[in-house]
A and B are shown apart, each in its own frame.
Chain A
């Protein structure tokens, strides 16, 4: 069974640009959640999607947005990038036929903003 796939793994952008990150969940998982991780800050919850609906979002500005498609794949977008957006962005999927509550994480997308 393939794991959670995130693309791209690494990217470099400049301030003011926008970026789109992609996440393909494990087959059969309908929930996808996104996190930002910076040194010393731990995993910060961005938002969670289930069946194409955002069920909750964390305390991030409106520049951070996401969506989920009918095949459960999800994208997140950050517009007008700032230096402080440099981070590891992780997505996780859950909720297969047997939902144990366990989150399955991808390897992350490392974003550097110059």
Chain B
């Protein structure tokens, strides 16, 4: 079955460093991947979408890559700040039958 996997272990990094989060997918080829940010007790907020024909996409301090050979997307936050601490989720488009799946998310903690 189609699977989206993210590192479920929390990632702790020092302020100012680059955080890199991984999203791996198996058993299908999504046309795009989305990345969301979720703060505790709140709904996810859309950050970026990258299409399969785009190698890289940037938005301010955020950068996303999409490697269809490795079946992987990497999400980078450069010059990280404590305010970047949150859980980050990746999500493919819904399947043809309108079923939405999300990765389990990676909790990022940026230490001051």
Contacts and interface: CB of A to CB of B under 8 A. Distances in A.
A110 B43 CA distance: 11
Residue of B34, B43, B45, B93 with highest tally of chain A CB at under 10 A: B43
A18 to B, nearest CB: 24
Contacts of B36: 103
Given A42-B103, A55-B98, A56-B98, A107 B43 contact: yes
A70 B97 CA distance: 22
Contacts of B91: 103
Contact of A103 (B8, B99, B100, B105): B100
B21 interface: no
A50 B21 CA distance: 33
Interface string A71-114: 00000000000000000101010000000111111111010000
B42 interface: yes
Interface SS of chain B: loop
Interface residues of A, number: 27
A48 to B, nearest CB: 5
Nearest to A3: B43
A58 interface: yes
Nearest to B32: A101
11 contacts: A35-B102, A42-B102, A42-B105, A45-B100, A48-B99, A56-B97, A102-B46, A103-B100, A107-B43, A108-B41, A108-B43
Interface of B: 8, 32, 34, 36, 41-46, 49, 89, 91, 93-94, 97-105
Interface of A: 4, 31, 33, 35, 40-43, 45, 48, 50, 55-56, 58, 88, 90, 92, 100-108, 110
